Structure 1
Amino acid sequence: MRQLGLAIAAALLPFAAMSQELAIKPVKVITIEKSEQVLERHFFGKVVARQTVDLAFQVGGQVLMLDAIEGTDVAAGAVIAQLDLVPFELAEEQARLQKEQADRTVTRLTRLQGSSVSQVSVDDAQTAAGLAGIALRNAEDSLSKATLHAPFDAVVAARNVETFSTVSPGMPVVRLHDMSELRIEIDVPEILFQRAGEDPSVEITAQFPFSAKEYPLDVREFNAEASAIGQTYQLTFALQTPEDLRVLPGSSVTVRARLNEGRARTLVPPTALGVAADKSLYVVAFDAGEGDTGVARLIPVKAESTANGDFLITSGLDDGAVEILATGVDNVADGQTVRRFGGFPN
C-alpha cells in the first residue's frame, strides 16, 4: 500500500510543478525607448495653374484659323488663332498711301512757302501728315492684333469659339493654363497657420492619388483673410512640374506637413501607467529572469498627456530601451514574479 502511495505521488509531481508555473501571473510586456518625435498633418488640396488667362482679339472680325485643341500643349509665341486679315491689310495699305500723300503735300507747300503759300497752309499740311501717321500706326496695330499668340508655354483649357465664327473685340476665344509651375492650394486652420510661421523647418510634400512618390513643396503665398466658415486660411504652394506625371489643374492632392521636434521623447500608452495611493504615477518594469519569467519593479515617473492619447514620460525612466508592462499594472505588486504572456495556445 505504501509503495502504491509513493507511485501516485511521483506521478503527480510534474502536474504540481505545472500548476506552480501556471500560478505565475502572465503579463503583456512592451519595449519603450526614447526616439525623436515627428509631428505630421495631412491636408487635402487642389492643383491650380500658375496663372489662367482668357485670350481675346482686341479687334473684331471673322475667325479663319483656330489651332487650339483642348488639352494640348502650346509653346510660347505659337499662333493660336487668326482673323481674316484682308480687311486689316487693306486698311493698312490705305493708311500708308494717305500718309505718303500727306508727306508729299508738306514737302510741296514748304518749297512754295513765302511766295504763294502762307505759313498757315504749311502748318495745316503738317498737321494732316501727323494725323495720317497716327492713322497708319492704328492700322498696323489692328493688323497685328488680328493674330493671337500664346503668351507663355501653356495648356489649352477651353475653346470658346469655332472657325469661321465672327467675334467682337474682347470676346474670349481660348482659355490657357500656365503650367510652368504648378500651384497647390489648401485650407489650414488658424492655429496651425500661426504655428507654421513660427518654425521654418517644417517639411512639406505633396502626393497624388495615382503615385506613391512625394514631391517637395515651397510656400508661395497665403490669403491674409480667414474664410467666413471654419476660420481657415488658404495657403498656396509651388510644385515644379513633375516630368513623370501628367498633372492638370483641378487634380486632387494630399499635402503632408512634417515637423521633427529635434528632441528625444519617451511615449507610453495610458494603460501602462499606474496611480499610487498618493496620486503619483508609476510604471512597472519587467526585469527578465530565466525563460519567460521575470520580476516586476515599480518605477515612479512623471508624465504629460499628448494630443494623440499617449503619455510623455518627462522623468523617471533612464535612457535606452526598457521593458515595461503594457496593461494590468494595478494588479501587480513590486517584486512579484511574473511571466511574459506569449499568446493563447492554438
Structure 2
Amino acid sequence: MRSHWFFTGVLALIIPFTAMAQEEAVQPAPKPVKLMELSNRPVVLQRQFFGQVAARQTVDLAFQVGGQLLALSAEEGATMPSGALIAQLDLAGYQRAVAQTQLNYDKAQRDAKRLESLQGQAVSAVQVRDAETTLRLAEIALESAQDNLGHATLRAPFDALVARRLIANYQTVTAGTPVVRLHDISELRVDIEVPEVLFRQAGARDQVEFSAVFPGDDRRFPLNMREFETETSSVGQSYTITLAFADNPGAFVFPGASVTVYTSAEGIAPNGTVVPKTALIYGPAGEAFVMVYEDGTVRQTSVEIEMHEDGLLYLIEGLSDGTQIVSTGASQLRDGQPVRPFTRIGE
C-alpha cells in the first residue's frame, strides 16, 4: 500500500514537468515579416525596362551609278576602318568617259584661247563668247565624268561593323540599290519604351540614373541619356528614350542584343508620412492599427490616418519617424507574436 502511494506521488510530480517540456518543444518559430521604416523623407523611385542594343547609326550603302559589281570586300561581322574599300563596280566604262571628256575639255580650251587671240581681226566677240561657253560645258562634263568614276567605288564612311551583305558579288546593280548594311559602333546605345506618366515624372527631376544588365551577367553598366522622341508611339502611349553606354560593354555585344535597363530617381518628398494599405488593421469601430516591430515581437498600436487627394494614406498621430512597422500581412499577426525581419526568399 505504501509502495502504491509512493509511485502515485512520483507520477504526479513528473507529469507537469513533461507537459511543460512538450509545450516548450512545440513553440512555433518566429514568423518572417516584411518591415518598413516610417519616414517623410524623399524615396528613391526605381523602374525596370527591357530594351535592345542599337548602333549610333545604321546605314545601307548604295552606288550612285549603275554597273557590274567586281569587288565586294565586306565580310559580315568584320570591322572596317573609316575609308576602307567596301565595294567597287567595273571602272572601265567610267574611265573611258573621263578620258573622252578630258580630250573635249582640252580641245575647247585651245579653241577658246585661239579665238580670243584673234578677236577684233577675223573673229567677232560673239564667236569668242560661244567658245568660252563651249569650254565651260566641256569642264562641267569632265567634272560629271570624274564624279561618276568616284561614285563607282564605295568606302566606309566611319569605323563600321559589317552587319549584312545585301547583294552577291559580280551582280549588275542599278543606282540606289543597297549593297551592304553598316553599323556605326563608335558608341553603343539602348532604346527603351517609357510610358507617358513615367516620362513626365522623369522629366520633372534633375537627376535620373540609368544602368544596363545583360542576360547571364550580373554586372551593371552605366548609361547616359542621349535623346528622346517627342511623339508617343501609336500603341501604348509610350516615348522612345535613347541611352548610351558610358563605357564599352565588351566584345560580342552587337546591335539587337537584349538588355534590361534599371532606372532610379529621387522622388518628391511626400507631404507627411505615408502608410501602405497593407500595413493597416481595422477594429470593429473602424479604428486603425499597425503592428510595430520591437525586439523580435510585434505589438498592435493605434494610429490616426487620413486620405489625401493623391489617394495615399498619411499618418496623423500615433507613431514617430524611424519606427519600424510590418508593411504587408499585418492582419495575419497577433499582438505580442514573435517575428523576425524577412530578408530573402527561401530562408
TM range (shorter): 0.7 to 0.9
Contact 1:32 1:321 survives alignment (8 Å)? no
Tell me the equivalent position of 2:186: 180
1:11 to 11, 14, 36: 14
Q: CA–CA distance in 2 between the matches of 1:65 and 1:23?
A: 84
Q: CA–CA distance in 1 between the matches of 2:93 and 2:246?
A: 44
Query: So what's the TM-score if we normalise by structure 1?
Result: 0.79
- Following superposition of structure 1 onto structure 2, how do residues 185-334 of structure 1 map, counting pairs within 5 Å? 185-240=191-246, 242-261=248-267, 270=278, 273-285=280-292, 297-302=299-304, 316-320=318-322, 322=324, 332=334
Q: Deviations over 1:163-216 (max 9, x none)?
A: 222222222111111112223222222221221211232221111114222222
Percentage identity across paired residues of the two chains: 40
Tell me the equivalent position of 1:122: 128
Q: CA–CA distance in 1 between the matches of 2:179 and 2:245?
A: 29
Q: How large is the Cα RMSD of the aligned pairs?
A: 3.8
Query: So what's the TM-score if we normalise by structure 2?
Result: 0.78
Matched, 1:101 2:107: yes
2:55 corresponds to which letter in structure 1? Answer: A
Tell me the equivalent position of 1:154: 160
Tell me the equivalent position of 2:89: 83
Q: CA–CA distance in 1 between the matches of 2:28 and 2:107?
A: 115
2:56 corresponds to which letter in structure 1? Answer: R
- 1:101 to 1:300, Cα distance in 2 relative to 1, 3 A: same
For residue 188 of structure 2, give the secondary structure of its aligned residue in structure 1. Answer: strand
Measure how far apart 1:227 and its partner are: 2.7
- 1:68 to 1:240, Cα distance in 2 relative to 1, 3 A: farther
Gaps of at least 5 residues in structure 2 are: 341-347
2:281 corresponds to which letter in structure 1? Answer: G
Contact 2:36 2:327 survives alignment (8 Å)? no
- 1:11 to 1:233, Cα distance in 2 relative to 1, 3 A: same
- 1:16 to 1:228, Cα distance in 2 relative to 1, 3 A: same
1:70 corresponds to which letter in structure 2? Answer: E
1:96 corresponds to which letter in structure 2? Answer: Q
User: Which has a greater percent of strand?
Assistant: 1
2:338 corresponds to which letter in structure 1? Answer: R
Matched, 1:141 2:147: yes
Measure how far apart 1:118 and its partner are: 1.7
1:14 corresponds to which letter in structure 2? Answer: F
Contact 2:85 2:154 survives alignment (8 Å)? yes
Q: CA–CA distance in 1 between the matches of 2:328 and 2:44?
A: 23
Measure how far apart 1:69 and its partner are: 1.0
1:238 corresponds to which letter in structure 2? Answer: A
Gaps of at least 5 residues in structure 1 are: none
Contact 2:290 2:325 survives alignment (8 Å)? no
Number of aligned positions between the proteins? 328
Tell me the equivalent position of 1:131: 137
Q: Deviations over 1:217-236 (max 9, x none)?
A: 22222233323332222222
Q: CA–CA distance in 1 between the matches of 2:338 and 2:243?
A: 51
Contact 1:285 1:325 survives alignment (8 Å)? no
Contact 2:224 2:246 survives alignment (8 Å)? no
Measure how far apart 1:8 and its partner are: 3.9
- 1:304 to 1:157, Cα distance in 2 relative to 1, 3 A: farther
- 1:286 to 1:114, Cα distance in 2 relative to 1, 3 A: closer
- 1:31 to 1:156, Cα distance in 2 relative to 1, 3 A: closer
Contact 2:290 2:330 survives alignment (8 Å)? no
